[in-house]
Every structure is written in C-alpha cells, then in structure tokens.
C-alpha cells in the first residue's frame, strides 16, 4: 500500500490528465519503444511548433483518466511504453505530427496505438486518414486558389483580346 504522499501525488497526476483529456480537441496514444534522444528531441520540437502537448505517461494513471472521461475503448492500447500527444487547438495536429514520425521510423520504433477526437475514440484507419489531411492553412489556400482561378483566367483572356485588338491594358496617360 503506497503511503499517503505518493497516493496524493498520483491522484493529482490523474486529475491533471483527466482535465487535459476533457479539454483536448484530440489526442493519440503512442508506442515510442526504441527511439533515440535525438529523435525524441526532434519529435518534441515538432510538437511544440504545432502546439501539441506531448508527454510520456504511466499506463495505470492514464487508464484512470481515460475511464473517468468515458473512453474505456482505449484501455486495450495501454500496454508497453506509452506517451500521449494532445492538442487543444487544431484537432488534426497530433495525428499529423505523430503519423509523420511513425512513417519516418516505418512503425518499428514508433507507432500510434489509439486516438480520440471530441471525446470519441477513433479507429486506426480513421486516425491515419485524418493524419493525411493537409493543415488548416493549406486547405484555406486551396479553397482561395479555387475561387480565384476563374477570375484570373478571365483577366488573362480579356488582356489577350485587348492586346490582339491593338489596345493596351494600362490606364491612358494623363495629358
């Protein structure tokens, strides 16, 4: 039986993890077995750039936190080495960052175990599909480009017609 001090520290960690899981837009549980310090540093740097909280966690403490927020389906993934990556902003960010590193290591040293989004547990296929989506900024640029393409084409055609007729697109010079 652990003493009262250790028990209260563990309860505080579980409470913090529970709060983190409740407020997170999404997150993934990761098996990080065998990565080097340099690889871990690169991963943590990439996580910070994408505003993803990444931490190594104890399975038993995460199990208590997961059960308290109603995501018991992820219990089976809590074995071996486990780390948790969560995002409070961009819901795709943890999946994208972790999937990128999992591909880099060919899944041998680094793999996604389970994930969730908005309190719903996702399958590995759903996690991989979401991870392949481009970032929010890239999607916005693609939409904007799609909207501007017809206008740009029209301007090019009008300019070509005007030049063909011998006119100029520039404004007439002031006299």
Q: What angle (nearest 5°) sits at the alpha carbon of residue 165, between those of residues 160 and 170?
A: 65
* Residue 41: CB atoms within 10 Å: 11
Indicate the number of domains in the chain. 2
Q: What is the pLDDT of residue 115?
A: 87
Classified as helix, coil or strand, 111 is strand
- Who's near 40: CB < 8 A, 6+ residues apart? 32
State the helix-helix crossing angle for 4-23 and 59-68, rounded to 10 degrees: 50
Encode the chain (175 residues) as per-residue pLDDT tens digits: 568 888 888 888 888 888 888 888 888 988 888 888 888 898 899 989 988 899 888 888 888 888 888 888 888 888 888 888 998 888 888 888 888 888 887 767 788 888 888 878 888 888 888 888 777 778 888 888 888 888 888 888 888 888 888 766 565 555 5
Query: Do 112 and 171 sit in the same domain of this protein?
Result: no
Distances (CA, A) of 120 to 42, 55, 93, 100, 105: 29, 21, 16, 22, 28
Q: What CATH number does the domain containing 102 carry?
A: 3.30.70.1730
Give the structural domain span for 122: 4-133
Query: Do 120 and 166 sit in the same domain of this protein?
Result: no
């Amino acid at each position: 039986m652990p003493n009262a001090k250790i028990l209260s520290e563990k309860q505080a960690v579980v409470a913090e993890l529970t709060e983190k899981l409740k407020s997170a837009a999404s997150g993934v549980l990761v098996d990080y077995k065998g990565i080097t310090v340099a690889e871990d540093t690169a991963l943590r740097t990439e996580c910070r750039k994408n505003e993803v909280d990444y931490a190594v966690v104890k399975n038993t403490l995460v199990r208590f936190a997961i059960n308290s927020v109603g995501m018991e389906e992820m219990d089976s993934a809590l074995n071996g080495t486990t780390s948790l990556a969560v995002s409070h902003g961009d819901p795709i960010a943890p999946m994208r960052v972790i999937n990128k590193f999992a591909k880099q290591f060919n899944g041998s040293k680094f793999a996604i175990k389970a994930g969730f989004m908005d309190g719903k547990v996702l399958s590995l296929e759903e996690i991989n599909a979401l991870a392949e989506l481009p970032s929010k900024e890239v999607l916005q640029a693609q939409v904007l480009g799609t909207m501007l393409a017809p206008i740009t084409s029209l301007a090019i055609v009008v300019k070509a017609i005007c030049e063909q007729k011998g006119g100029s697109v520039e404004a007439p010079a002031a006299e």
